[in-house]
């Protein structure tokens, strides 16, 4: 079974906020659901406004599992440090169908903002 979802995803509006203060720390995350019966091997490419794309990030999500990747964790980003408050976009390419959700928590002001959205899939 190839599972629900698509193999190619774009998240066009990424921007890692500073952690801020308070209990809930500012962050970005990408949640991947792998509904297939094989492990999803995912290549991640980051696009920036004023510098070359970065494409040395590899993620794995086991068959029939969900996994959350945080952009503020260099371990999740294969050693790459995502710059704070810098617009970028993300492309995920998988060997099997996956479903991708993006979330951002920005608490740099007293009225924190949190939202999630599905990426664009083809």
**pLDDT tens digits along 77-111:** 999 999 999 999 999 999 999 999 998 887 776 66
The predicted structure's pLDDT at residue 111: 67
Kindly indicate whether the domain formed by 6-121 is annotated with CATH number 2.60.290.11. Answer: yes
The predicted structure's pLDDT at residue 114: 67
Provide DSSP, the chain.
Answer: ---SSEEEEEEEEE-BPP--SSSS--EEEEEEEE-SSS-EEEEEEEEESSS--EEEEEEEE-TTEEEEEETT-TTTTTT--PPBT--EEEEEEEEEEEEEEEEEEE-SSSS-EEEEEE-EE-
**pLDDT tens digits along 39-50:** 999 999 999 999
């Amino acid at each position: 079974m190839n599972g629900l979802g698509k193999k190619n995803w774009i998240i066009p509006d990424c921007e890692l906020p500073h952690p801020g203060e308070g209990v809930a720390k500012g962050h970005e995350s990408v949640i991947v659901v792998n509904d297939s019966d094989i492990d999803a091997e995912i290549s991640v490419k980051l696009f920036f406004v004023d510098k070359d794309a970065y494409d040395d990030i590899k993620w794995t999500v086991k068959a029939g599992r969900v996994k959350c990747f945080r952009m503020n964790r260099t371990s999740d980003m294969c050693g790459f440090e995502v710059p704070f408050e810098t617009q970028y976009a993300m492309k995920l390419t998988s060997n099997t169908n996956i479903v991708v959700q993006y979330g951002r928590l920005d608490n740099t002001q007293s009225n924190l903002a949190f939202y999630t959205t599905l990426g664009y899939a083809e």
